Chains A and B, each alone.
Chain A
Amino acid sequence: MGFVTYTFLFVFLPITLALYYAVRPGARLVVLTIASFIFYAWWRLDFCGLFLASTLASYRLGQLIDQSQDIRLRKRWLTIALALNFGMLGYFKYANFFIANANELLGAMGIHQIAWTSVILPIGISFYTFHITSYLVDVYRRDAQASKSFVQYACYISMFPQLVAGPIVRYNTIAAQLVERSHTPEKFARGILLFMIGFCKKVLLADQLARLADFVFGASSHGFTDSWLGLYAYTMQLYFDFSGYSDMAIGLALMFGFEFLKNFDSPFKSRSITEFWRRWHMSLSQWLRNYLYIPLGGNRHGEARTYLNLSATMLLGGIWHGANWTFLIWGGYQGVLLIAERLNGKRPVGSFGIRFLEWPSTFLLVMVGWAIFRAPDFSSLSSLLGGLLGLGGTGSLHALIPIMKPLTVLTLVLTGVLAFWAPQSWDIAARITWPRAIVFSSLFLLAIIKMIFSSYTPFLYFQF
């Protein structure tokens, strides 16, 4: 059940909201937690058991960490908890990848291959693993106390707005809200407005570009024009899809009284890759910084170690997105760019010191990164990169005519304008005015109509 479905919008959400506000305040978290597990079970009931077991185990381990006064014992419990947590993620997310590569190697060496049945990736596992880790590490560091109530903890892990695709909410930023939070009409209305903006971003903009991006990335050969057009379409699709999802998640949380942090800060306005990573999927960047980069040593042990830490963080961030070499390369590419900027005196590479070129060169480098990110395999990637460099000829828009409908062209232009110049949805929703309420309510109705009569397009980040 995605957010952009009839079932969610007109059955699950209104019933959950009605029950949440109908019960006494003390029972509201119970309602939200049960609803979240139903939301998860809608996908697959059997994996709901795994999710529940994982939640229970990490809750108990969190208590053990908290209760241990001896630092070595605390560390031991943390190690066990993280091994369990990441062991599960490793098995479900990377076992297929590992076996496939091992079999390829064994096959090349003429050795008998490993018999293996593919493992199904439980939806949202990457995100809830990070949530659990955040809780355990915060408790270990004494940044937060272990939750006294299982319901509060289960609600933090399972809360359906952020369950399947983030944002990754750090435990110590939300711990107090799990105990007590305010519910005001203004907050609820802000949530509605943010949800509607996100919904429109996804349905009216991102989905409109999906077909063009899919066509270009699915093609067997690429020319210059179509490669750039397809890459631009995917760049905008990804941004409006994921930032739209984040807006919806934050908006939903507001409706239940929770205040999440911003997840996107107009990333395409960045003037360097360093800045881009401060603005794109901010909750992931912060998680990687707090729980990986800094524990690795951050920039505290000299230049060489800093670069090593940066590379390791970005490589792991890349592979977190999916079990594919292209994600690893994408992580490596981002790491190299960040290191190059540091070596360049924290100035963007590719701008040649000209301030005017900082923004376009950064955007260009980000786009090339998305080519690596989206390509399904090396042959497609090399074909697309060749196309971007013009090695596949100038290309022709002729083949794209069947999918380049006027509305698609308009969306391409509009997304550019919105991504580069428009105010952020976060700021729009901060103050509700009559024009904003009317405009976005109308667009929301339009998006619902489009949703009903379009084929289902899942959120891109659901796959991670």
Chain B
Amino acid sequence: MNPTPQASFWRPSNALILFWILLLGGTVAADFFNPHPPKLEVFMGRGSRNLWNGKVTQRLDDYFPKRSLVFTATRPMLASSIYRLTGEIQSSVGLGYDGWLFHQWELEDHGREEEQSLAEEIQTLASLRDLLASRHMELLVVVVPSKVRIYPEFMYPGGRLPAYIGPKYHQFQQRLVAAGIPSLDLEGAFLASRNSPVNERLYHSGDHHWTDLGCLQASTLIATLIRQQHPAWCNQKPGLARLLPPKRAGGASCLYDMLGFGENELKDEFVHDCMRHEVSCLKQVGDPERLSSPIILTGDSFAATGKQMALCLEFALQSTVRDESVMGGETHVGLERVLKAGVLNSNEPRLVICVFWEATTIGHNLRELRDVIRPYQKVSGK
């Protein structure tokens, strides 16, 4: 008996073609005929230990070309936004004077638990230093002071920090020095310039991240160190983006004033170059294939702020800190990518700059970082 026309159509090969058309064509159609503008997508994080966010953002361009922005929000940042919008205070932020918000972790007392893990942290960083040194690479640890340390008066009456916050940053710095781990102490410079002549702060009042000025301040100090130790890496044919300071929406004009650039002196090309650089930077974040720079930046929240730091460092060095050298989204994730990229095997002199934030580093064990580097130290039981 001959099959009916319906039966002959429903063959597995036709079903497969239909599946293919629906899957591929459907996705294209959904992207191109979407009546709504590209949307802001918020991925709710679980604090800084969330890897999910990093995985989404690292291949943002490849996987979501039609999306304008995927906003990775940790609880405190989202809480800041909620406060701004509704006035409602979430548990993960501390409300200070004049509407200043602080990350809850900046304000917490972890007590003895924190003290116990300090030694382990120093040990982990020393291991990382040794691992890198065995392959002609240097480590530079940069601990970014918490906002409350630089602007305590916005949280505590009279600007007096509680005893449990006060000394821990200094103790950590001292231990780094004692262990022979190259580090950079930003606190002194930050305190000296906390109230800049142009009235721009080093940190945003509404969240815990530094502003462009703070980032530039830190980058200048890092650049000074690099200039001393690796002069060959500086002043290498800087392009337009490297000659002018990075521009961001907030406070940019003040920053330019302070650096001696009038608003009208800035060329449009710079803005384009800067934007292109930022996009390119974000695209390359964590792409180990392209790693070729002698300077490797890794740091907390780097998927979002690494481009800012790369720009600032380029400006401070007057040299190219290649896009691909920025490894995000947290220090251990960035380092894992660096190691996975086989950088250790290259035996080329490099500087690995690990930027940590005080509140998520000191006393927080650095367990993930330890897990990442351990297999590279000795895979065998020797």
Chain A interfacial positions (CB closer than 8 Å to B): 5-7, 9-11, 13-15, 17-18, 185-186, 188-190, 192-193, 211, 214-216, 218-223, 226-227, 230, 376-377, 380, 387, 392-396, 398-400, 402-403, 432-434, 436-437, 441, 445, 451-456, 458
Q: Does B17 reach chain A (CB closer than 8 Å)?
A: yes
Q: Is B65 an interface residue (CB 8 A)?
A: yes
Q: How far is A230 from B380 in the complex, measured between Cα atoms in Å?
A: 11
* A-B interface pairs (CB < 8 A), number: 142
Q: Are B340 and A393 in contact (CB under 8 A)?
A: no
Q: What is the CA–CA distance of A376 and B341 in the complex, to the nearest angstrom? A: 12
**226-246 of chain B: CB within 8 A of chain A:** none
Range class of the B interface residue count: 35 or more
Asked whether A376 and B342 contact (CB < 8 A) given A192-B20, A456-B59, A458-B289, the answer is yes
CA distance A395 to B23 in the complex (A): 47
Assembly CA distance A10 to B22 (angstroms): 11
Taking the nearest CB of chain B, how far is it from the CB of A250, in angstroms? Answer: 16
Q: What residues of chain B have their CB less than 8 Å away from a CB belonging to chain A?
A: 11-17, 19-20, 23-25, 27-28, 31, 52, 55-56, 58-59, 62-65, 134, 286-287, 289, 337, 339-340, 342, 344-345, 371-372, 374-382
Contact (Cβ within 8 A) A216 B371: no
Give CA–CA (A185, B18) in the complex, Å: 11
For chain A, what secondary structure do more than half of its interface residues adopt (helix, strand, loop), or is it mixed? helix
B20, B62, B372: the one within 8 Å of A456 (CB): B62
Could you tell me the distance between the alpha carbons of A202 and B27 in the complex, rounded to whole angstroms?
Answer: 22
Contact yes or no, A220 B376, CB < 8 A: yes
Whether the pair A219, B379 counts as a contact (CB closer than 8 A) is yes
Q: Once bound together, how far apart are the Cα atoms of A11 and B63, in whole Å?
A: 10
Partner of A11, one of B12, B16, B65, B379: B65
- Picked from B52, B56, B382, the residue with its CB within 8 Å of the CB of A223 is B382
Q: Are A221 and B374 in contact (CB under 8 A)?
A: no
Known interface pairs A185-B17, A455-B286; A376-B379 also in contact (CB < 8 Å): no
Evaluate whether A394 and B381 lie within 8 angstroms (CB atoms) in the complex, with A214-B340, A377-B345 already known: yes
- Are A393 and B65 in contact (CB-based, < 8 A)? no
Q: Which of A9, A211, A436, A437 is B340 in contact with, Cβ under 8 Å?
A: A211
The verdict on A192 contacting B17 (CB below 8 Å), with A216-B379, A223-B380, A434-B12 known, is: yes
Residue of A whose beta carbon sits closest to that of B374: A399
Minimal Cβ-Cβ distance residue in A for B375: A215
Known contacts A6-B63, A226-B380, A395-B380, A189 near B16 by CB under 8 Å: yes
Sampled A-B contacts (9; CB under 8 Å):
A15-B28, A189-B16, A215-B379, A218-B344, A220-B378, A399-B379, A402-B372, A402-B375, A437-B15
Residues of B near A221 (CB, < 8 A) are: 378-380, 382
What does DSSP make chain B's interface, helix, strand, loop or mixed?
A: helix
Contact call B378/A219, Cβ cutoff below 8 A = yes
Complex alpha-carbon distance, A432 and B382, angstroms: 52
Contacts of A451 in B (CB 8 A): 63
Cβ contacts under 8 Å, B371 to chain A: 402
A400 touches which one: B13, B337, B379 (CB < 8 A)? B379
Q: Judging by beta carbons under 8 Å apart, are B339 and A437 in contact?
A: no
Given contacts A9-B24, A456-B59, whether A387 and B380 have CB atoms under 8 Å apart is yes
C-alpha spacing A185/B17, complex, angstroms:
8
Which of B15, B59, B337, B380 counts the most A-chain CB atoms under 10 A from its CB? B380
Chain B residues whose C-beta falls within 8 Å of the C-beta of A393 in the assembled complex: 380-382
Query: Looking across the interface, which residue of chain B has its beta carbon closest to that of A222?
Result: B380
Q: Which residues of A contact B374 (CB under 8 A)?
A: 399, 402
Instruction: Give the residues in chain A near B55, CB-CB below 8 Å.
Output: 453-455
| C-alpha spacing A10/B65, complex, angstroms | 10
Give every chain B residue within 8 A of A214 (Cβ-Cβ). 340, 342
CA–CA, A398 and B380, complex, Å: 8
CB distance from B347 to the nearest CB of A (A): 8
**B24: contacting residue among A14, A396, A398, CB under 8 A:** A14
